[in-house]
Structure 1
Amino acid sequence: MKTKLIALTLLATTLAFAPQGSKQAWAEGQNPAETYELLNLFGDVFERVRANYVEETADRDLIEAAVNGMLKSLDPHSSYMNKKTYGDMQVQTRGQFGGLGIEVTMEGGLIKVVSPIDDTPAFRAGLKTNDFLTHLDGEAVMGLTLEKAVEKMRGKVGTDITVTVRREGQDAFDVTITRAIIKLRSVRSRTEDKVGYVRITSFSENTSKGLGDAVDKLKEEMGDQMQGLVLDLRNNPGGLLDQAVAVSDAFLDKGEIVSTRSRDPDESQRFNARPGDITGGLPVVILINGGSASASEIVAGALQDHGRAILLGTKTFGKGSVQTIVPLPGHGAMRLTTARYYTPSGRSIQATGIEPDIQVAPAKVEELETRHGRREADLRGALDKGKNGPAEEEENKTDKAEDEKKKEVLDFQLMRAVDLIKGIAMFGGQK
C-alpha cells in the first residue's frame, strides 16, 4: 500500500509540474500506463531499501539521492540542490563566498577544474584549467556527486584541505590549500602603454557596472591617446547570462547578441544590442583560452560574429547550455538544462567552443643570451685588465639588474594583443 501511495504521489507530482511541451510529448509518443509502472518500480525499490538495507537510512537522503541521480543522468550540469547548497549558490552569484576559488565540473567521476579564480587560494596554489582532482583529504572523489564534492572543499576559513591533482603529462601530486573567504572583484583594469587592459574573472551581479567604471577610468588616464582595449576573458568560467549580454551590449551598437533555443520553439529567446559603444569604436582584442566558458563564450562569440573584436588565444571550453534554477519550495532547488546558446551567426557553442581568429598558445618569453668571442680583457696579462674599478662594478650591477628583469614572467598572449592593437591604430589612423 505504501509503495502504491508513493508511486501515485510521484505520478501526480510529475503531471502537476510537467511543462506543456512534456505533456504533448507524452500524448504523442509515450504511454502513461507504462510511466506509472516505472514509478511503481521506484516505489517498490524505495520500500525494499528502507526495510532491508544493512544500515538504517533517512527517507530524505534516499529520495534526494534518487532525484539527483535522475538529473545527473541527463548531463553534467543538471543537479538537485538542497537548502544549504541552494543558499551557497545564491551567495556565490552575489560575489562573495567561502572556499578555495575554483570553478569545477564532473567528468568521468572526477572533479575537473574549469578554471581557478584570480587571486584565490586555488589560483595561488597553482591549480590549472583541465586539472583533475582525484582525492580530497585522502578520500576518493569517485562516487561523490558534484554538490557533495564542492561541500567538502568548502569549510571554515583558515582550515587546510589537501587535494590530489592529476595533470596531463605528470604523476599525481598533492597540493595543500588554505580555505578563505572568496571575494570576487570580477573586473580589474590597467594601462599597457597606450592600450587599455580590462580583465573580467567572472560574470556576477556587478560585472557590467565594473566594466563601465574600468573603461571610464582608462579614458580618464589616457584621454585621446588611448589606442584600443584588450578584454581578457581567459580562465573566466562564466556566470550570469544577463551580465554576459550587458557586457556584449557595451561594445555593440545593434544586432543580436545571443539566442537560446529550447525543446519548445515558443520558449526560445533572442537578446539584442542597444545603441552605444563604450569605447567609441576603438579596436578591441579579446583574450580567450580553454578556461573561458559559458558567459565568456557568449561575449566572445557575439563580438566575433559582428566583427567588433578580434579573438586571440586558444579554443574555449565549449559550455553552451542554459541552466534554469527551479526553486522547490521547502526543499531547495534544481538546476535543469533547458536550452542551448547560439551566437548571432547561428553557431552552437555547446561542446564545440569558440575558435580564436588568431591562434596564440601561452609561451614563456626569453631573451636569447648574446654570445661573443674572446675579448682583449679575457687574455692573460692584458693591459689595464681589472683597473676600471667603480665603472666595472657599476656595469656588473647593471647586468645583474637586467638578469633579474629577465626572470619576470611575461604574458606572451597579452603582448601579442597589445601589438595587434598598436598595428591597427597605426594603419587605421589612430594616435
Structure 2
Amino acid sequence: MSGIIRNFSFAAAGLALGLSLTLFGQEHTQQYKTRVDYPVLLDVIDTIETYYVKKFTEEELIEAAIEGIFSKLDPYSSFLDKQAFSNIQESNDGEYYGFGVEIATDNDQITIVTPFPQSPAELAGIMPGDRIIKLNQQLVTADKLESLLSEIKQHSYDKQAIDLELVRANSETSYKVTISPSLISINSVEAQLLDNQIGYIRLSSFQENSTQDLVKQLALWQTKPLNGLILDLRNNPGGLLDQAIQIADIFLDRGRIVATEGRFFDANSDYYASPQTMVKSVPMLVLINKGSASASEVLAAALQENGRAKLIGQTSFGKGTVQSLIPTLTEGNAIKLTIAKYTTPNGKDIHSRGIEPDIKVALETITTDESMPIIDANSLRGDIAEDKLVNSAIAWIKTEK
C-alpha cells in the first residue's frame, strides 16, 4: 500500500472518491512559476483588464481563467477556496454547515444522490434520484453543474435560503422547496439487534471513526452470537477511502478489496484483505440503492465479488473515478482533481453503470406512489419492522440458516 493518504471525500459540492495528497516541494514550485509566467495567458489577462468595455480586475480574470480550465475537465474536478476546502475536511469529521445534500450528474441530468439525515434537504422531502430543474427560478442543465454548485455553496456561506424545483425519480411530477442552510451532523454508524439475533447496521457515510465505531458495535454482539448480519448502505454517498478499505477488511480474510489506476505512480495501488476478520461465519446481506455511491460501492463490490455477502436492492449510483485533494501554494486553497479510476476486485469499471445487486428488488415494491421510503432510509428513527427491504433480507438470512 502506498504511503500517501487516500480518502473518499464527500461534501455538499458533490461526490468525490479521492486520494488526499500533499504535493509541495521545489519541483512543484518551479512548475507553478513556469505556468504563471506563461506569456500568452498573461497577455490576454492584461489586454482584457486594460481595454475591455466593462471593467474587470486582474483577480476576477484569473478566477475566470481557472473556471475555464476546470470547464474542460469532468464535473468532479474543481478549485476549492478556503471555505470549500474547510467544508470537505469538516464533513470527513462528521459535521459541516450547508444544505445537507449530495449532487452529481447522471444521464446528463443534475441528480440528487442523497440527502443527509435531519438535514434541511431531507426535512424538505428531497429524495435520492430526484432531478433538479431550477435553482432560484433559473433553469439548470448538466453542463451548468459547476455554476449551480458554486451558487449553492455561496448561499450556504452567506446563510441564505435557496429555492429548488425538482422532478421525482421515475416520474415527471415536479415539486418546489425552499431550504435554508444549517449545521449538519452525521452519525455514520447506527445499529440495532433485531429478532432472531440478526444484527442490523446502518452505515450512512465513511468518516474518521467509522471503522472504530463499527468494531465496537460488533464486539458488543460477540456475547450474543449472531444468526445473520444486515449492512445497510442505502443513500450512502461515500467518505474516506481508508475507512471503506478497513471495513471491508473486517469482513474479509482474503482477496482484493479495490484497485486504482492513473497516470502517475502513486495513483496505482491494489488493496488486499488481511487474515484477521470478525463475524466470519455469519450470513451477511448488504442493502444498496441508487443513493449508494463511491466508497459504499467499493465496500459493496468487495463483499460481493469475494463471496462474503449478497447484495439486495437496486443498482447503485455508479461513481468509479478517483479524485485527489491537492493543496495549492496559496494557503488554505486546494484543487479537487480526477487523477484515476478504480476497479472492483474482479477488475470491473462500474462508472456510470453501478453495481447490480444479487437480489434485485424493484423500487415500487418498497416505496409509496411518491417514491418516498416506507421508513427513513437514512437512520433508525422509523420503525425498522416496517422496512420491506430489511424484511426481505431477514427472510433470506432465515433461509440460509
Q: So what's the TM-score if we normalise by structure 1?
A: 0.74
Aligned AA (2:359): I
Contact 2:92 2:239 in 1 (8 A): yes
Alignment match, 1:423: 399
- The 5 A counterparts of 1:292-303 are 292-303=292-303
Aligned AA (1:16): Q
- The 5 A counterparts of 1:351-362 are 351-362=352-363
- The 5 A counterparts of 1:138-149 are 138-141=137-140, 143=144, 145=147, 147-149=149-151
C-alpha separation in 1, matches of 2:330 and 2:83 = 12
Q: Does 1:118 align with 2:100?
A: no
Contact 1:255 1:273 in 2 (8 A): yes
Contact 2:260 2:342 in 1 (8 A): yes
C-alpha separation in 1, matches of 2:344 and 2:106 = 26
C-alpha separation in 2, matches of 1:40 and 1:108 = 39
C-alpha separation in 2, matches of 1:295 and 1:72 = 25
Residues 26-57 of structure 1 show CA distances to partners (whole Å, capped at 9, x for unaligned) of xxxxxx9xx999x5543343233322344322
Q: CA RMSD in A?
A: 3.0
Alignment match, 2:31: 16
- The 5 A counterparts of 1:173-252 are 173-194=175-196, 195-220=198-223, 223-224=224-225, 226-252=226-252
C-alpha separation in 2, matches of 1:109 and 1:314 = 20
C-alpha separation in 2, matches of 1:321 and 1:216 = 34
Shift of residue 154, structure 1, vs aligned partner: 1.8
C-alpha separation in 2, matches of 1:417 and 1:76 = 36
The runs of 5 or more residues in structure 2 that have no matched partner are 1-26, 368-382
Alignment match, 1:29: none
Alignment match, 2:127: 128
Q: Does 1:57 align with 2:59?
A: no
SS in 1 for 2:229: strand
Contact 2:261 2:340 in 1 (8 A): yes
Aligned CA distance change for structure 1 residues 253 and 409 (closer, same or farther; 3 Å): closer
Say which structure is richer in helix.
1
Alignment match, 1:67: 66
Shift of residue 265, structure 1, vs aligned partner: 5.8
Contact 2:267 2:340 in 1 (8 A): no
Contact 1:314 1:356 in 2 (8 A): yes
C-alpha separation in 2, matches of 1:246 and 1:124 = 32
Alignment match, 1:96: 95
Stretch of structure 1 that moved more, 407-416 or 246-255: 407-416
Aligned AA (2:389): Q
- The 5 A counterparts of 1:235-384 are 235-264=235-264, 267-330=267-330, 332-364=333-365
Contact 1:136 1:153 in 2 (8 A): no
Contact 1:233 1:286 in 2 (8 A): yes
SS in 2 for 1:70: helix
Which protein, 1 or 2, shows the higher relative CO under an 8 Å CA cutoff with sep ≥ 6?
2
Shift of residue 304, structure 1, vs aligned partner: 0.8
Aligned CA distance change for structure 1 residues 13 and 171 (closer, same or farther; 3 Å): same
Say which structure is richer in strand.
2
C-alpha separation in 2, matches of 1:153 and 1:110 = 22
C-alpha separation in 1, matches of 2:114 and 2:108 = 18
Contact 1:365 1:410 in 2 (8 A): no
Structure of larger gyration radius: 1
SS in 1 for 2:251: coil
Alignment match, 1:5: none
C-alpha separation in 2, matches of 1:254 and 1:409 = 34
Aligned CA distance change for structure 1 residues 126 and 65 (closer, same or farther; 3 Å): same
Aligned CA distance change for structure 1 residues 209 and 334 (closer, same or farther; 3 Å): same
Contact 2:162 2:178 in 1 (8 A): yes
Q: So what's the TM-score if we normalise by structure 2?
A: 0.79
Aligned CA distance change for structure 1 residues 93 and 59 (closer, same or farther; 3 Å): farther
Aligned AA (2:399): G
Alignment match, 1:163: 164
Shift of residue 81, structure 1, vs aligned partner: 0.8
Aligned CA distance change for structure 1 residues 174 and 273 (closer, same or farther; 3 Å): same
Contact 2:260 2:269 in 1 (8 A): yes
C-alpha separation in 1, matches of 2:51 and 2:106 = 33
Alignment match, 1:78: 77
The runs of 5 or more residues in structure 1 that have no matched partner are 1-11, 19-31, 367-406, 426-431
C-alpha separation in 2, matches of 1:65 and 1:421 = 56
Shift of residue 146, structure 1, vs aligned partner: 5.0
SS in 1 for 2:286: strand
SS in 2 for 1:188: strand
Alignment match, 2:11: none
SS in 2 for 1:208: helix
Contact 1:71 1:336 in 2 (8 A): no
Aligned CA distance change for structure 1 residues 352 and 170 (closer, same or farther; 3 Å): closer
| Paired residue total | 354
C-alpha separation in 2, matches of 1:261 and 1:192 = 41
Q: Does 1:413 align with 2:383?
A: no
C-alpha separation in 1, matches of 2:242 and 2:302 = 14
